[in-house]
């Protein structure tokens, strides 16, 4: 065991070279020179008495012996990386890394964070804004806030809010029009379309309009925050997620044009590793989310 551990650096150089099929890329990852990687691999080949790579004009290719060794090193170094991340994550128990979409951060969570900081000044929050699936096995994310259906097998999830779509517009767009507006008057205005939450047809059916009365030839927005900004800019009427529109409604940047709502089969969920919901900091954060 002691003899083998003497070649740990060489094994790491081999593993990165095999992963990238390139000595140069392995050198970049490990922040060493190309020559240092080459020397480490030669040292390992000499120690093992086998050739691990075929040198090619555009990189390197594993030999059969190299493929067998790579099967072991890839699993070993991946396990080491996960172990280091887990220790680091547990060591920083007074901080929480939260993964959420940019729209949810801008329109809902960030404006409310001052109250969390006042109530819990000892807990630091790191917001990781992206829409990608949070892989709890390979990332340092503690909590993910996701809008969707509860299809996260093997991880803890709890609904924070059921969502619905509501009709909103800037006060400047409707001016002195009496609110709530008639459905026909709403449909006559420019309608902004959410490419992700297609709901104007459902709204039309609910308020008794024909689908052909709905103008579908406008810009479609993938980002819910951008959709709301277009509505605030008086570019048209948005059928927006209630949760994301709440603050703009309170501040008077938007007004609700009627009393209708389109229920969604998706909601906002709190997601984390199984068992992490009992961590003190995570439990405090979840309780606060449920209360706002």
Q: How does pLDDT run across 43-82, given as a tens digit for each residue?
A: 899 988 999 999 888 889 999 999 999 988 888 877 777 7
pLDDT of residue 25: 92
Decide: 74 and 17 in contact? Cβ < 8 Å.
Answer: no
CA dihedral 170, 173, 177, 183 (to 10 degrees): -80
Q: What is the CATH number of domain 2-91?
A: 1.10.10.10
Taking 60 as the threshold, does the pLDDT of residue 90 lie above it? no
Segment 157-171 mean pLDDT: 95
pTM recorded for the entire structure: 0.67
pLDDT of residue 2: 41
pLDDT of residue 92: 52
Beta-ladder partners of 156:
272
The CATH class of the 94-292 domain is alpha beta
pLDDT of residue 74: 85
Decide: 264 and 149 in contact? Cβ < 8 Å.
Answer: no
Question: Whole-number mean pLDDT of the chain?
Answer: 88
- Note the pLDDT tens digit of each residue in 175-217: 888 999 999 999 999 999 888 777 898 999 999 998 887 876 6
Beta pairing, strands 143-148 & 95-100: parallel
Q: Provide the token pair at 222.
A: 């993938």
Segment 101-106 mean pLDDT: 94
Taking 90 as the threshold, does the pLDDT of residue 136 lie above it? no
Taking 50 as the threshold, does the pLDDT of residue 42 lie above it? yes
Q: What span, in angstroms and rounded, lies between the C-alpha atoms of 259 and 266?
A: 21
- Note the pLDDT tens digit of each residue in 220-243: 898 999 999 999 999 999 999 999
- Note the pLDDT tens digit of each residue in 246-279: 999 999 999 999 999 999 988 999 999 999 999 9
Domain ranges of the chain: 2-91, 94-292
Confidence of residue 131 (pLDDT cuts 50, 70, 90): confident
Helices (H) then strands (E): counts for the chain: 13, 11
Give the percent of the chain with pLDDT over 70.
Answer: 93
Q: What span, in angstroms and rounded, lies between the C-alpha atoms of 259 and 207?
A: 10
pLDDT of residue 1: 40
Cβ neighbours of 155 (radius 10 Å): 14
pLDDT of residue 180: 95
Q: Nearest to residue 104, comparing CAs of 145, 135, 143? A: 145
Q: Which tops the pLDDT comparison, 171 or 213?
A: 171
Taking 90 as the threshold, does the pLDDT of residue 137 lie above it? no
Cβ neighbours of 230 (radius 10 Å): 18
List the single range of 87-91, 162-166, 284-288 with lowest mean pLDDT. Answer: 87-91
């Amino acid at each position: 065991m002691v003899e083998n551990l003497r070649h740990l650096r060489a094994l790491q150089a081999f593993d990165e070279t095999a992963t990238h099929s390139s000595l140069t890329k392995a050198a970049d990852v490990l922040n060493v020179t190309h020559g240092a990687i080459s020397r480490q691999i030669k040292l390992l080949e000499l120690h093992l008495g086998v050739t691990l790579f075929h040198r090619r004009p555009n990189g390197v290719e594993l030999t059969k012996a190299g493929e067998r060794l790579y099967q072991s090193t890839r699993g070993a170094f991946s396990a080491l990386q996960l172990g280091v991340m887990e220790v680091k994550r547990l060591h920083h128990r007074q901080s929480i890394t939260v993964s959420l979409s940019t729209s949810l951060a801008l329109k809902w969570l960030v404006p409310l964070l001052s109250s969390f900081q006042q109530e819990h000044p000892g807990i630091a929050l790191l917001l990781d804004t992206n829409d990608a699936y949070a892989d709890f096995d390979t990332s340092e994310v503690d909590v993910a806030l996701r809008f969707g259906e509860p299809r996260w097998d093997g991880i803890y999830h709890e609904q924070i809010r059921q969502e619905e779509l509501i009709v909103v517009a800037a006060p400047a767009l409707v001016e002195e029009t009496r609110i709530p507006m008639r459905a026909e008057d709403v449909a006559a205005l420019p309608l902004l379309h959410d490419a992700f939450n297609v709901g104007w047809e459902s709204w039309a059916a609910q308020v008794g309009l024909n689908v052909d009365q709905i103008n579908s030839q406008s810009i479609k927005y993938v980002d819910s925050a951008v959709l709301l900004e277009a509505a605030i800019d008086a570019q048209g009427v948005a059928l927006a997620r209630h949760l994301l529109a709440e603050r703009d409604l309170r501040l008077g940047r938007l007004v609700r044009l009627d009393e209708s709502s389109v229920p969604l089969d998706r909601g906002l969920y709190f997601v984390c590793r199984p068992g992490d919901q009992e961590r003190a900091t995570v439990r405090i954060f979840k309780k606060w989310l449920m209360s706002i």
